[in-house]
């Protein structure tokens, strides 16, 4: 439900509703003010017309009766004549138009001095107030109807406006660089949405071209790198079988073979991670203990004479992963521990579905711990290139494999 409230269509409908409410409110206030002003004006004209009419009649007949109806009530104050019948509230009024209440009834009063007398003409406002109240109810009802209609029209128009955007979003979300890029922009009119669809279509074309170039590049690099490495490895194996070499030469040949095998594994891992999907990625069940043992032997030459390796607990644990990437991850972690522990111990354990490698080396400061997976970041005292842990992080997260 929250997605509806945050949708573009809901926001447009809400905008229409707010706009309709503002227009309705302004119209209602304006009409209410005009109706009230016109009502007062009509009452004032009626009161003055009644006074003028009574004055004319009194000139012809001094005993003419004052108006006395449900709506109009008149009084006259003449000096020297008994005026006790006039309500006291009126006697204190000067000439003009006033509002007053007599016997809980609201009146609009016009006071005029003419021909030596003061005339009071009262208009009963009860009916006028009832009419204004009824008119206000009509205005409120009309305003609510206007708001509802604005919201409905806004929702309908928003649906018409948002539909092309939603369709474009659906196509883009399902688009694949392998598909025909033109399918994204087909069917849209030549407006802003159509132009945006054309932009996405062009972007997919560029992406497909980039992926094709990347595939060609990685395929060529894979072949060009593996060929000389295979030749080096074959030469090393032949030299290792040579019986005439002395000890120093054998050690050097062993060092070359070890470096070459590391290069083969690293090259394979980098090529695998450079591709989003690759036929070379072979998922298999790997024995973590065997991978750790191989990594220890491969990097044992890095150990100081003052450093010992303790395998605290090595449970049998198997995970489904690409073995080369797993070997790169484990070898990098073990290599870092060996290099940065000039004396002391390196402890390795596999338990509770996790690999733990700890050492008594120089450690990592609190300021640097959050940056260790950044590419080319090297901690204080490090002599490496700063890509080892970055490579480990990419291997675990970027290739969507089961992590340790």
pLDDT of residue 21: 84
| 378, pLDDT greater than 80 | no
Strands 344-351 and 307-314: parallel
Closest to 383 measured CA to CA, from 324, 342, 346, 326: 342
pLDDT of residue 314: 64
pLDDT of residue 41: 92
Per-residue pLDDT averaged across 174-200, rounded? Answer: 75
Residue 87 to residue 108: CA distance in whole angstroms: 14
Percent of the chain with pLDDT over 90: 12
CATH topology of domain 177-280: Helix Hairpins (1.10.287)
Max mean pLDDT among 148-152, 213-217, 365-369 falls in 148-152
Which stretch of DSSP H or E encloses residue 127?
Answer: helix 126-174
Residue 244 to residue 234: CA distance in whole angstroms: 18
Which stretch of DSSP H or E encloses residue 298?
Answer: helix 288-299
pLDDT of residue 222: 66
Which class in CATH covers the domain with range 282-404?
alpha beta
Q: How far is CA 206 from CA 122, 186, 197, 211, 357, in A?
A: 87, 18, 14, 9, 44
| 325, pLDDT greater than 80 | no
| 146, pLDDT greater than 60 | yes
Strands 344-351 and 318-322: unpaired
Give the phi and the psi of residue 5 in degrees, each rounded to 5.
-65, -30
Closest to 339 measured CA to CA, from 357, 355, 362: 362
pLDDT tens for each residue of 251-282: 788 778 777 777 776 676 666 666 554 445 56
pLDDT of residue 392: 63
Q: Angle at Cα 87 formed by Cα 81 and Cα 93, nearest 5°? A: 90
In the chain, where are the structural domains located? 2-148, 177-280, 282-404
User: What single-letter DSSP state applies at residue 70?
Assistant: S
pLDDT classification of 98: cutoffs 50, 70, 90: very high
pLDDT of residue 23: 86
pLDDT of residue 397: 56
Max mean pLDDT among 6-10, 75-79, 94-98, 157-161 falls in 94-98
pLDDT tens for each residue of 109-132: 999 998 888 999 999 999 888 988
Of 183 and 92, the one with more pLDDT: 92
| 377, pLDDT greater than 70 | no
pLDDT classification of 404: cutoffs 50, 70, 90: very low
pLDDT tens for each residue of 306-315: 888 888 766 6
Q: How far is CA 282 from CA 142, 279, 322, 383, in A?
A: 71, 8, 6, 34
| 402, pLDDT greater than 50 | no
pLDDT of residue 84: 77
3-state secondary structure of 379: coil
Max mean pLDDT among 4-8, 24-28, 387-391 falls in 24-28
pLDDT of residue 359: 85
């Amino acid at each position: 439900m929250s997605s509806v409230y945050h949708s573009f269509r809901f926001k447009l409908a809400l905008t229409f509703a707010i706009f309709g409410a503002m227009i309705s409110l302004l119209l209602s206030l304006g009409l209410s003010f005009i109706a009230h002003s016109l009502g007062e004006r009509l009452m004032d004209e009626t009161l003055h017309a009644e006074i003028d009419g009574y004055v004319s009649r009194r000139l012809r007949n001094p005993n003419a009766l004052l108006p006395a109806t449900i709506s109009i009530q008149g009084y006259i104050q003449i000096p020297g004549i008994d005026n006790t019948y006039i309500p006291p509230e009126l006697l204190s009024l000067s000439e003009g138009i006033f509002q007053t209440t007599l016997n809980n009834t609201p009146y609009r009063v016009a006071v005029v001095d003419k021909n030596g007398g003061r005339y009071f003409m009262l208009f009963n406002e009860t009916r006028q107030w009832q009419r204004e109240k009824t008119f206000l109810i009509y205005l409120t009802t009309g305003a609510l109807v206007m708001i509802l209609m604005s919201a409905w029209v806004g929702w309908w128009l928003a649906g018409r406006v948002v539909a092309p955007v939603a369709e474009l979003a659906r196509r883009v979300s399902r688009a694949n660089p392998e598909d025909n890029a033109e399918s994204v922009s087909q069917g849209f009119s030549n407006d802003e949405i159509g132009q945006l669809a054309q932009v996405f279509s062009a972007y997919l074309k560029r992406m497909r071209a980039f992926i094709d170039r990347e595939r060609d590049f990685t395929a060529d690099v894979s072949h060009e790198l593996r060929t000389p490495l295979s030749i080096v490895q074959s030469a090393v194996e032949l030299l290792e079988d040579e019986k005439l070499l002395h000890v120093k030469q054998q050690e050097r040949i062993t060092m070359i073979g070890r470096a070459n095998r590391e290069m083969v594994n690293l090259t394979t891992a980098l090529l695998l991670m450079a591709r989003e999907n690759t036929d070379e990625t072979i998922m298999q069940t790997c024995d973590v203990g065997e991978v750790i043992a191989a990594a220890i032997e491969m990097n044992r030459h890095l150990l100081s004479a003052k450093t010992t390796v303790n395998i605290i607990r090595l449970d049998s644990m198997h995970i489904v992963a690409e073995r080369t990437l797993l070997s790169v991850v484990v070898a990098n972690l073990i290599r870092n521990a060996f290099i940065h522990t000039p004396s002391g111990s390196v402890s390795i354990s596999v338990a509770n579905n996790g690999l733990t490698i700890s050492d008594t080396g120089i450690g990592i400061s609190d300021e640097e711990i959050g940056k260790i997976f950044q590419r080319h970041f090297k901690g204080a005292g490090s002599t490496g290139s700063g890509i080892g842990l970055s490579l480990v992080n990419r291997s675990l997260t970027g290739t969507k494999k089961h992590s340790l």
